[in-house]
Amino acid sequence: MPELGYTELTNLGEKEFGLIGLGVMGQNLARNFQNHGYSVVVYNRTEQKTREFVARHTEISAAYNLKEFMGSIGQPRKVLLMVTAGSAVDATINSLGDLLARGDVLMDGGNSHFQDTERRCIDLEKRGVNYLGMGVSGGEEGALKGPCIMVGGPREGYDQVSEMLNKIAAKVDGPCCQYLGPRGAGHYVKMVHNGIEYAIIQIIAEAYDILTRASGIKIKQVQGIFSKWNRAELNSFLMEIAAEVLAKYDSETKLPLISLVLDRAQQKGTGKWTSQSALDLGIPTPTIDAAVQARNLSALKDERISAAKVFKHPTKLRSLRGSLVQSLRRAVRASIIVSYAQGFHLLRAASMEYGYGIPFAEVARIWKGGCIIRAKLLDSITRAFRTDESLSNLMTDSRLARELMSSEKSWRGTVKAAKEAAVPVPALNASLDYYDGYRSERLPANLIQALRDRIGAHGYERIDRPGHFHTNWSA
């Protein structure tokens, strides 16, 4: 059945688009579609939330049961789910049941695990329903003003909704919306996006920690440093909001609000999923892994308080303040490059393993707008993949490689200074180790292989002849 256009609806009561789930993201996406000229009907399991929303936004229609909701949308229906990832998505799909018809497009805009999306795509395909896993990044502001949209699923389903998705998306060198491949491709890319986000946030947090704890620089000065960095090569949304956060003062105490925030970070799981998938595919993502583990360590607040009473802490490195700021800037930049390199390396492996055919240059391009990890650096990454789509690792791009090599001295000096001050820098350190390991022609894995053979007769390969060998090492 051909797609019904905006002016082709014969029943003026029919809506062009339906949205289920009125959390903050769902509400703002509904408003975004409405603001771009699409008639929208919404439904939420909690009736009161629906009534409160449409009372504030009278131009948007509401339904109070799923039959009424589905009946009010012009066919083939286009429905976006914005419910909590996991069992709630399956429950909503089951509740829709026979209300779904062949040719309908059902989109999941939550942070669903890509394997759940794979399963749902296959199940709904049997019923003729086009199920799209749609990664949406940008937070509540992006949802309203223009998010980055990463879509996977049947191509024919995407073609039915591509015009409206492109209209509501952020715009940087075109709409920041892209079809990325079949089944779970969109949610996989969104998962890796979030893994990179974890890494960059941890890197920025470590820079803040070095400047304040290791160097004794006041928060107001750190805010100025971050603002300056954001006006140059470290320009990014995350650096921008880091400076914004550091500038906020508590109205009661008149202290920087950040100094009153508990140092115990939470997580929703997408960073962990990235690390788990990387382990499954045999792709090293140590900076992302370090960021996940750093949050886990931060959660042990009571234990850390007890340990701090046992272990004496070194003095601050005030004498290194001037030189450290410049070195730290380079170390942060290099570590962020490495974070993107790990993420795209994982995307390449997943694209091959799952048959996604992910267009890496387009991923980099759409990440330039709307999404949380948007950054000036993505211009260089987009160029790198447009120059060589088969690029195995971003670090080997000639321009990025030169930048990493020129940052080495500062990078090492920063990590060394942090170690001397006993300030943990898991992400900066993991990034440097990854860089050193990836460019090492020879690693000590020869001893690992020999020990494995000694322990369990697993065998080993030799550098001077082909084949698989075993040695009785104890004889």
The helix-helix angle for 270-281 and 321-354 (nearest 10°) equals 60
The answer to whether the beta carbons of residues 60 and 34 sit under 8 Å apart is: yes
Q: Which of 190, 240, 362, 403 is catalytic?
A: 190
Could you give phi then psi for residue 172, rounded to 5 degrees?
-145, 110
The answer to whether the beta carbons of residues 222 and 245 sit under 8 Å apart is: no
Round to whole Å and give the CA distance between 136 and 318: 43
Q: Is 416 a catalytic residue?
A: no
Query: Nearest CA to 148 among 120, 168, 176?
Result: 176
Q: Is 197 a catalytic residue?
A: yes
The owner of tokens 């409405």 is 34
Query: Which H, E and C letters describe 248-278, residue by residue?
Result: CECCCCCCEHHHHCCCCCCCCCHHHHHHHHH
Strand partners, 42: 19, 62
Question: Which amino acid appears at position 92 of this protein?
Answer: T
Q: Which of 16, 118, 197, 206 is catalytic?
A: 197
Question: Which amino acid appears at position 408 of this protein?
Answer: E
The answer to whether the beta carbons of residues 180 and 111 sit under 8 Å apart is: no
Round to whole Å and give the CA distance between 156 and 143: 24
Which amino acids are annotated catalytic? 190, 197
